[in-house]
Structure 1
Amino acid sequence: MKRVRYGRLPAGPDRCGRSRSWPARLGRAARAGGLGCPAARSGPVALVAGCVLLAGCGVPGTGPEGAGDPARGARPATATAGYVRAYFVAPNGPWPVARPAAAGAGPQQALEALLAGPSSDERARGLVTALPPGPHRVRATADRPGQVDAYLPWLVAELPHAAVNQLVCTAAAAPGIPGGRRSADVVVRLHESGLPGEPWQVMCDDTGVAAPLGAPPPAPDTPSPRR
């Protein structure tokens, strides 16, 4: 099983009953102790007509459908002309899917495709989204080489880990980012709703997992002594 690159944390669940594999730094509000336990949310997104400029699509809360062969594993994604890639959640981890896009598409259009959710065929094969249900707006800009600024309507601490992976990796794999860098070398700056100051800088690795910029690599597994 892939280990998330957030460094070591105390063993066992936290006070919310969640795994401690996610970093304690989940946004400035979380560091200040002002957030309670976020509610678990999952489900595919239903496409709402008229999603333009900003990704303002609704997300109904339903689970994966047990039909067809499930998607397996994660695949690296790179920007391709004429397409954007949206990261969804498969039974075995993150999974990018291609969506047709007009010329000049960039991170904004990629995030709109993400909030539109998996298709019915993709849901039948086990793809879902971890983003919160309901209509939301996400705005993205890419004005500097190798960098995307994403303005979220949520606090990072309110999101499941898989949802952060989806947002960061979808933005990083989008076309139209200056500098021509591969998606794993793009820095995504997450601006959290209502929090002034510096955004949280995150990157997406080739397996679709997000980690804070500069996070140390995971410690190697130590084999158990033989008896």
Structure 2
Amino acid sequence: MGESDVYEKLSQLIFSGEFETGSSLVERNLADRLGVSRIPMRETLSSLVAQGALEGGRKGESVRLRRYTVDELRQLFDYRAVIEGGCVRSAAMYTSEADLMRLEIICDGMQDILEGDDFTKWSSLDVKFHEALAEASRNDRFERTLKSLLRECFYVFYVLSRRRSRRELTKEEFAFHKQQALDDHRAIIELLKTKQVEEAEARIRLHILRSADRVIRASIETDLESNDDKADQAESS
């Protein structure tokens, strides 16, 4: 297994939601699980730390799944907005008919489950749409960078936010999110078809920053509730 394969499989595993935020990632255990030696595993973990996806890794310190502050969440989605904005600019210039068809088929799949509450299926199609945008850029650097970034962003949006939140989205809230996301996806496809470069970039940035707003708002609400609980406990003790 080459280094790029190790990176691919490890990042998928880390951002699958299997590990708790802040938990240590043991190099030996991960290497055994993926059937690779410890050297490429160590190098891959170091790369993920350098990218900011993981934290720790200094001498004598474990590598851990990041605990995101509100500012770190903002930085993550701001970075994605820049990268995916550039990706969509490139797609608006170079996308093929096959790319557009793939994007439309994914949207059709999202439309089919719009009225349901299959969270897992919806999130999977959402990821596929943005990965297809990365491929449509016809730029290998954009594609590699964006696909790596998407794993972390979708982990934060679909896994971490639900895990940290004290309440699930209501059926109405989830329906609103899905409809808004699908409307954005359809609009982006139309802008790619007509090669409206500036407009396509602006729409994807808006789409991403809406996601950032939801994640950051949920994080702040959770922190406030946690502080209220601590204050209540202090008063009662």
Give the TM-score normalised by the residue count of structure 2: 0.24
- Which has the larger share of strand? 1
Structure of greater Rg: 2
